[in-house]
A and B are shown apart, each in its own frame.
Chain A
Amino acid sequence: MEQITPALIDWSRAQFAMTAMYHWLFVPLTLGLSMIMGIMETLYVRTGDAFWKKTAKFWMKVFGINFAVGVATGLILEFQFGTNWSNYSWFVGDIFGAPLAIEGILAFFMEATFIAVMFWGWNKVSKGFHLASTWLTGIGATVSAWWILVANTWMQHPVGMTFNPETVRNEMTDFFAVAFQPMAVTKFFHSVLSGWVFAAVFVIGVSCWYLLRKRHVKFALSSIRIAAVFGLVASLVVAFTGDKSGYEVARHQPMKLAALENLQEGGNAQGLEIAFGIKIPYMLSLLSTRTPDGYVPGINNILEGGYVQPDGRVALSVQEKMRRGKIAVQALSDFREGQALADETKTETARDTLNAYAEYFGYGYVENPQDLVPATGLLFWSFRVMVGLGMLFILFFLVALFLGYRDKIAQSRCRWFYYVAIVCVPLAMIAGQAGWIVAEVGRQPWAIQDLLPVNAAVSSLAPGAVKTTFFVFLVLFFILLVAEIGIMLKAVAKGPEEIENAQ
């Protein structure tokens, strides 16, 4: 009989993590490019200048190359909730399935429908309808991201539901609490606009490559100007929502914050470590509690409990939470038994116990308090890479804007900037990946924070089966990535040739 083994959990996590990270190589670029294309085509429609049409079409071509891989990996992610996390699918499917379904109905169809008009409608529909289609493609992709991020936020901070022992699952009681909780709003702007940052860096990087080769100069300059403004606005919003996100994590996922800082022992007036022991005094307290002497619990404090939480309650020790969790799981067993025997007293007693301890249900599956500590080393550095690069990009866009709008950027003494811009393209990709490591590794072992750990969420499969599919996907993804990069390089090298002719 199949058992839940550490190998099964690890391979299932690895497969999901790989697919999600791979998905996020392509999606941010399509999210951001769709907006940049929209801006360029709007300029075309407003000015009637064919130059903007050709410019928009070039970035649409790049968008098209990325779109398919993003869509394909998105489908795998959706189905993997069922194939690899089947218990999860039942335990919270009543809540979690809804945003996925709404995404399909409201957003994905919009994107898929209008992308066809965008690519093949140039000579078939009016200018206005075409422009609307380009924007609707981008809006479809963005609304789609909204619902997916709503679903992800709910895993980080489950709200709007109650546990029903009769069906043995959580059931939705408040749709608006799920769909519009403040954390989802923050996550949406933080993630989607980080995609805009990536796309802006990409556009500037590619344009600088043309400037370096002295090709397509007008095209490159125009693209840089638009991308620099777009990127600067986006990167400031990303920084602002990043700060807000830190505050929310401190309130709802204190272990994640402690692990990000590798903070073993917390306390009042905590400083923020930049790296290698260099600290900004009071900064961590300020970021996470909005007061310079606020209390920030460390990993050991969270395990031991006894401090006052932001909601005013005294934190329980993890041992105590595990004890209560086990009582809740046992009460579920008693409830089912009582039902089977038609023993009403037993059923009702069990229901009362379950209601009293439901909050700790997930801790019932935790074997060892140390299992609740995520990988601190990986998180510590991912967080610094994400934040450091985020700040670098703000500076980068400021410089691009300064050079671009004063026409200095085409001068040969700005060559250094071309190299910086090209190097920034892979860095922007790394920043996005680091961000998702922070968000997802940071909440381990919880599939749903405090409610369901990964060992109770996984499908019952042989570890070998999941390992096999992991490697099949790995090989496939690798081949497709090499092909994708090859195609992108060729497309960029070929460049917007027609634009030169149009000028």
Chain B
Amino acid sequence: MFTYEFLQNYWWFVVSLLGAILVFLLFVQGGNSLIFTLGRNEQERSLLINSTGRKWEFTFTTLATFGGAFFASFPLFYSTSFGGAYWIWLLILLSFVLQAVSYEFQGKLGNLLGKRTYQVFLVLNGFLGPFLLGAAVATFFNGSNFVVNKTNMSSVMMPVISRWGNAWHGLDACLDPWNLILGFAVFFLARLLGNLYFINNIDDAQLQPRLRRRLLVDTVPFLLFFLAFVIRTLLKSGFAVDPQTGRIFMEPYKYLHNFLQMPVVSVLFLTGVAGVLFGLGKSIFCNRYNKGIWFAGIGTVLTVLALFLCVGYNHTAYYPSNLDLQSSLTLANSCSSPFTLRTMAIVSVLVPFVLAYIVYAWRSIDKKKLTRTELEEEHGY
């Protein structure tokens, strides 16, 4: 019943979903990028930090699980991209490491570097995390410079299968302005989501109007960067795979074709974009509306999911090489064995159960909004 092709598609869906949830959870980073912009004094900054500080583990865990699931299901991507685009992945890691310790360390006595330094680390990760992840994902559409040759394994002196084509090892992604544009789009999106999350999570009369004003300021660049990337992607040639021979070739309007040929993905995409716009719009125009994060959050998950599905499904090479077109990674040439994919698929049946307890625990913590009084009484950062 579960053909190899079905399992490949299933796992691409799971990885895409994890990636999409990760982008939504980057609201933690986006929110942190705003702590100095919005928090005018220590108490206000503390409110903001404590607000995202109760969710950062989810983002972190999703990043780790995204990595683990990608490793288990598409190991050739893991070896090609991580080993090749070395610098970009290490910068991402470094920024997340700084973030992880900064919450706990910033408010504690004896922390060596002082409170402000750790807060700056949070801001740094708030920018670099979403920006670099966005730029890395953009290479799925725009291509990278690597060569994959499995026969290398039989060369005793140089057995490495995946090799990067230049000494920049991932920093070359920044030479393509379209990668930067998606990076900026994801950064501004994370900021907006962070802001919407604050609006929902913090009950504070002084912060609220400032949050709403900032929302408007960040919406404009987000829309510009996002629309520019989407329109350009729909109009550009894409990396197509011949299903019979596995040969990879450039097809004009490939991603537009993918959307047209997969109406479900198009519906997901359009619903997602509408959700984001509705969440943003209503939060900007209705002063007392605080549910924007749910519309924009679910909208983000759907939009990103649709983009990932568009770049992986319908005979498309999801991690293309500009240096050697035939080295490009497709679902079929980079995935795990049928046995592993099937075994992992059985494990993935438990995912809804995991989601259920996350939602339950999250709700039990968030039913009371965060206030200044609570910070004085309870365990805080």
Q: Which residues of A contact B (CB under 8 A)?
A: 2-4, 57, 61, 64-65, 67-69, 71-76, 78-79, 81-91, 93-98, 100-106, 108-117, 119-125, 129, 133, 164, 167-169, 171-173, 175, 326, 329-330, 332-333, 336, 364-365, 456, 458-462, 465, 469, 472, 476, 479-480, 482-484, 486-487, 489-491, 494
Cα distance, A87 to B162, chains bound together (Å): 7
Min CB distance, A454 to chain B, in Å?
11
Beyond A64-B104, A102-B344, 8 extra complex contacts between A and B, CB < 8 Å: A3-B157, A65-B104, A68-B103, A97-B68, A109-B65, A113-B358, A121-B365, A476-B94
* Pair A120/B156 contact, Cβ less than 8 Å: no
Asked if B89 is an interface residue, CB under 8 A from chain A, the answer is yes
Kindly specify which of B72-80, B203-211, B274-282 makes contact with the partner chain: B72-80
> What are 19 A-B pairs with beta-carbon distances under 8 A?
A65-B108, A71-B57, A75-B67, A75-B96, A78-B64, A82-B89, A86-B160, A87-B83, A93-B75, A94-B340, A95-B340, A104-B69, A105-B354, A110-B354, A125-B365, A129-B364, A330-B154, A336-B151, A461-B83
Complex contacts, B30 vs chain A, CB 8 Å: none
Complex contacts, B158 vs chain A, CB 8 Å: 3-4, 460
Complex contacts, B111 vs chain A, CB 8 Å: 483, 486-487
Known interface pairs A124-B364, A462-B167. Does A69 touch B161 (Cβ–Cβ under 8 Å)? no
* Pair B368/A124 contact, Cβ less than 8 Å: yes
Size category of the B interface is: 35 or more
Q: Which 7 A-B pairs have the closest CB atoms?
A: A86-B83, A93-B75, A82-B82, A104-B65, A97-B72, A486-B110, A333-B154
* Pair B354/A86 contact, Cβ less than 8 Å: no
Min CB distance, B354 to chain A, in Å?
5
* Pair A79/B162 contact, Cβ less than 8 Å: no
* Pair B361/A489 contact, Cβ less than 8 Å: no
Known interface pairs A93-B71, A112-B58, A133-B361. Does A72 touch B96 (Cβ–Cβ under 8 Å)? yes
State which of B64, B68, B101, B337 has its C-beta within 8 Å of the C-beta of A94. Answer: B337
Known interface pairs A90-B76, A489-B110. Does A100 touch B68 (Cβ–Cβ under 8 Å)? yes
Asked if B159 is an interface residue, CB under 8 A from chain A, the answer is yes
Known interface pairs A95-B340, A171-B340, A490-B108. Does A83 touch B86 (Cβ–Cβ under 8 Å)? yes
Min CB distance, B106 to chain A, in Å?
10
Min CB distance, A146 to chain B, in Å?
14
Complex contacts, A462 vs chain B, CB 8 Å: 167
* Pair A487/B109 contact, Cβ less than 8 Å: yes
* Pair B75/A104 contact, Cβ less than 8 Å: no
Complex contacts, B379 vs chain A, CB 8 Å: 57, 61, 64, 119-120, 122
Residue of B159, B167, B337 with highest tally of chain A CB at under 10 A: B159
Known interface pairs A69-B101, A100-B72. Does A173 touch B339 (Cβ–Cβ under 8 Å)? yes
Complex contacts, A3 vs chain B, CB 8 Å: 157-158
* Pair A106/B354 contact, Cβ less than 8 Å: yes
* Pair B93/A336 contact, Cβ less than 8 Å: no
Cα distance, A343 to B334, chains bound together (Å): 25
Cα distance, A332 to B156, chains bound together (Å): 11
Measured CB to CB, the nearest residue on chain A to B90 is A469
Complex contacts, B105 vs chain A, CB 8 Å: 65, 68, 480, 483-484, 487
Measured CB to CB, the nearest residue on chain A to B80 is A86
Measured CB to CB, the nearest residue on chain B to A169 is B75
Complex contacts, A64 vs chain B, CB 8 Å: 104, 379
Known interface pairs A65-B104, A113-B361. Does A465 touch B96 (Cβ–Cβ under 8 Å)? no
Min CB distance, B24 to chain A, in Å?
15
A interface: dominant SS: helix
Complex contacts, A101 vs chain B, CB 8 Å: 65, 68-69, 71-73, 344, 347
Chain B 223-235 interface mask (CB, 8 Å, partner A; 1/0): 0000000000000
Known interface pairs A112-B61, A332-B154. Does A487 touch B110 (Cβ–Cβ under 8 Å)? yes
Min CB distance, A270 to chain B, in Å?
36
* Pair A120/B54 contact, Cβ less than 8 Å: yes
* Pair A460/B54 contact, Cβ less than 8 Å: no
Min CB distance, B35 to chain A, in Å?
18
Min CB distance, A157 to chain B, in Å?
19
* Pair A94/B75 contact, Cβ less than 8 Å: yes
Asked if B376 is an interface residue, CB under 8 A from chain A, the answer is no
Cα distance, A494 to B110, chains bound together (Å): 11
Measured CB to CB, the nearest residue on chain B to A72 is B100
Known interface pairs A89-B75, A93-B79, A172-B337. Does A460 touch B160 (Cβ–Cβ under 8 Å)? yes
Complex contacts, A458 vs chain B, CB 8 Å: 160
State which of B63, B76, B164, B368 has its C-beta within 8 Å of the C-beta of A460. Answer: B164
When A and B form their complex, what is the total count of cross-chain residue pairs whose Cβ atoms lie within 8 Å? 296
Cα distance, A364 to B154, chains bound together (Å): 9
Residue of B108, B155, B368 with highest tally of chain A CB at under 10 A: B108
* Pair B71/A82 contact, Cβ less than 8 Å: yes
State which of A69, A79, A167, A333 has its C-beta within 8 Å of the C-beta of B67. Answer: A79
Complex contacts, B169 vs chain A, CB 8 Å: 461, 465
Min CB distance, A107 to chain B, in Å?
10
Cα distance, A252 to B365, chains bound together (Å): 49
Complex contacts, B97 vs chain A, CB 8 Å: 72-73, 75-76, 476
Known interface pairs A69-B101, A95-B340, A459-B83. Does A102 touch B347 (Cβ–Cβ under 8 Å)? yes
State which of B87, B93, B153, B160 has its C-beta within 8 Å of the C-beta of A76. Answer: B93
* Pair B159/A456 contact, Cβ less than 8 Å: yes
Complex contacts, B93 vs chain A, CB 8 Å: 75-76, 79
* Pair A89/B90 contact, Cβ less than 8 Å: no
Complex contacts, B108 vs chain A, CB 8 Å: 65, 487, 490-491
* Pair A483/B100 contact, Cβ less than 8 Å: no
Asked if B285 is an interface residue, CB under 8 A from chain A, the answer is no
Complex contacts, A98 vs chain B, CB 8 Å: 72, 340, 343-344
Cα distance, A18 to B239, chains bound together (Å): 40
Cα distance, A108 to B340, chains bound together (Å): 21
Known interface pairs A82-B82, A104-B68. Does A167 touch B150 (Cβ–Cβ under 8 Å)? yes
Asked if B60 is an interface residue, CB under 8 A from chain A, the answer is yes
Complex contacts, A129 vs chain B, CB 8 Å: 364
Known interface pairs A79-B89, A336-B151. Does A86 touch B82 (Cβ–Cβ under 8 Å)? yes
Min CB distance, B238 to chain A, in Å?
25
Cα distance, A133 to B151, chains bound together (Å): 50
* Pair A168/B150 contact, Cβ less than 8 Å: yes
Residue of B89, B110, B113 with highest tally of chain A CB at under 10 A: B110
Cα distance, A445 to B219, chains bound together (Å): 54
Cα distance, A81 to B104, chains bound together (Å): 27
